Amino acid sequence: MPKFTVTFMCSECGAESLRWAGQCPACHAWNTLQEFQVRKALSGRSRSISAQRGQAVEPTGARPVPLSEIEPDSAPRQPLAWGELNRVLGGGIVPGSLVLVGGEPGVGKSTLLMHAAQQIASSGGRVLYASGEESPQQIRLRAARLGPLSPRILLLAENDLDAICEAIRAESPRLAIVDSIQTVTDAGFEGGAGSVTQVRESAARLMRLAKEIGVPIFLVGHVTKEGAIAGPRVLEHIVDTVLYLEGDRRQELRILRATKNRFGSADEIGVFAMGEAGLEEVSDPSAALLGNAAVASPGAAVVAALEGTRPLLIEIQSLVNKVNNNYPPRRIASGMDINRLLMLIAVIEKRASVSLGQSDIFVNVAGGIRITEPAADLGLALAILSNTRDKPLPDGLVVIGELGLAGEVRRVGQLDRRLQEAARHGLTRALIPAGARAGRHAGLEIVEVRTLAEAISAAHLSHMRSGELIKEPEVSVP
């Protein structure tokens, strides 16, 4: 039995604390400090810390080397059949890397990794799929839906970390998958599967193993309802790469988003669609997103948002409902930050002189996508105004621009990429920030706007009195 020291860690922010407290001293969340054990140092403090963190430890006696003499990435990446997956990984799987694939239960993590396994198998590599989540029969059933069953995919139904590590060592596969990290237990530590100690120690051990034998390991991690990978955010510090699979289970689109990548860009996304035979890559997500766009309905606007290096045309929908009661109006945002929405509502009220204090406002980003970019501000504001005035935005319009508190339309990065995407998908008119110096794009008329007010008139929403045309719901007053 190894010697332990006991520490506490916040399951929200990953901060460590020597004593238990009701409130995390770092992020001030309540009741999030959980006990966990750390193996005592083997030799020297720094060595143990980097080893605990799962980082590669330099052998003692390493000497400084001139940067120019360092060999470039020696081990080639292993590309997968899907460009969407390679993009998120930074070009393929790096040997010896530890990759965390997080997401809510049921979003499609096991399905995605089984696809990856089949792609490696069909290019002649062996894959070890260790699962403590499902029975071998269930896994076989899923794999058979996705493609032909390959003898090169080895299944290990096991929760015990020792057994999993032993199998990875013995088989030395081209890829190992552990589904999920929350079901794995290290017998050397106390605590049940999924506890902070177990999740953290198991991941750190798998990290050391991956580095030692050069086998890439993918971990599945379920996300708790708070949004952190269960077992704390610390898991994110341990692994090389963190990918989140997002999407609405009831819709088909899935976004795989890199939030950390030691071997590539950390804000790339890959887009997939879930269907009868598992996932498919979607190499033209704008087409998929616009395909469902409600034609010219009041409250809908198309924006061009950047995800990583890639522009996406996304439809935003809004619903503004006048209510006759004394409750504070409701503001509900799905697919975007609620605080951003509240700010935009304030800007609209002030700068477009529209009163929204008696209206519930709902906004929704179509396709289950999440917009994190201020470049969608102006589009969202016009969507809200369009619904308020019950008048659709002109056909073929794309709206690009950040909205400042003074109602000014601010410039956004990579404007031409966005415009190019809009032109490519047959949109005909773009509202863009004034002075942004856009290039020419065939078929796309470009209209520069300086303020929200100018955008309103360019979008033909202005020739109505402000605040009018909100249909009064019929209420029967007792």
Cβ 146 to ligand TYD shortest distance, Å? 6
Listed residue (417, 418, 446) closest to 432, CA to CA: 446
Give a three-class secondary structure readout of 81-121. CCHHHHHHHCCCECCCCEEEEEECCCCCHHHHHHHHHHHHH
Tell whether residue 145 is a contact of ligand TYD (CB under 6 A).
yes
- Taking the least distance from each CB to Mg ion, the nearer of 110 and 198 is 110
Could you say whether residue 254 binds ligand TYD (CB under 6 A)? no
Q: Choose between 28 and 249: whose C-beta lies nearer to ligand TYD.
A: 249
| Comparison of 112 and 427: residue with beta carbon closer to ligand TYD | 112
Those residues whose C-beta lies under 8 Å from the C-beta of residue 448, and which sit 6 or more positions away, are: 432, 433, 434, 435, 436
Q: Binds 27, which of ligand TYD, Mg ion, none (CB < 5 to 8 A, cut-off by type)?
A: none
Q: Among Mg ion, ligand TYD, none, what binds residue 142 when CB lies within 5 to 8 Å by partner kind?
A: ligand TYD
Phi, psi of 63 (to 5 degrees): -115, 155
Q: Residue 103 or 298: which CB sits closer to ligand TYD?
A: 103
Question: From start to end of 308-466, where are the E strands?
Answer: 310-322, 331-334, 359-365, 397-399, 402-403, 409-410, 429-433, 445-449
Taking the chain, what is the end-to-end CA distance rounded to the nearest angstrom?
73
Applying CB under 6 A, does 354 fall inside the site for ligand TYD?
no
Residues in the interface with ligand TYD (CB under 6 A) total 14
Q: Closest CB to ligand TYD among 35 and 248?
A: 248
Give the nearer residue to Mg ion in terms of CB position, either 110 or 185.
110
Give bridge partners of residue 17 from the DSSP assignment: 8
> What, of ligand TYD, Mg ion, none, does residue 303 touch, CB below 5 to 8 Å by kind?
none
Considering the complex, state which of residue 110 and residue 317 has its C-beta at the smaller distance from Mg ion: 110
Q: Could you say which residues in the range 57-116 bind Mg ion, by CB under 5 A?
A: 110
Alpha-carbon gap, residue 384 to 403, rounded angstroms: 14
Count CB atoms within 10 A of the CB of residue 147.
16
131 touches Mg ion (CB under 5 A): no
Contact 104, 221 (CB under 8 A): no
Q: And the tokens for 45? A: 């403090």
Q: Under the criterion CB under 6 A, does residue 274 sit at the interface with ligand TYD?
A: yes
The reply on whether position 138 binds ligand TYD by CB under 6 A is: no
Closest to 370 (Cα-Cα) out of 344, 401, 333, 396: 333
Q: What is the DSSP letter of 387?
A: H
Name which position in 53, 140, 142, 410 contacts ligand TYD (CB under 6 A). 142
What is the maximal distance between C-alpha atoms in the chain?
Answer: 85
Q: Give yes or no for residue 103 binding ligand TYD (CB under 6 A).
A: yes
Give the nearest distance from C-beta 123 to ligand TYD in angstroms: 21
Residue 108 within binding range of ligand TYD, rule CB under 6 A: yes
- The yes or no reply on residue 277 touching ligand TYD (CB under 6 A) is yes
Q: Which is nearer to ligand TYD, 139 or 316 (CB)?
A: 139
Question: Any contact of residue 437 with ligand TYD (CB under 6 A)?
Answer: no
Tokens in use for 476?
A: 């029967």
As measured in angstroms, the least distance from the Cβ of 199 to ligand TYD is 17
CB of 109 to ligand TYD, least distance (A): 3
Q: Tell me the C-alpha to C-alpha distance, in Å, between residue 415 and each of 120, 235, 315, 424, 425.
A: 38, 36, 18, 14, 16
Q: Which of 38, 80, 89, 107 binds ligand TYD (CB under 6 A)?
A: 107
Contact residues toward Mg ion (CB under 5 A) are: 110
Contact residues toward ligand TYD (CB under 6 A) are: 103, 105-111, 142, 145, 274, 276-278
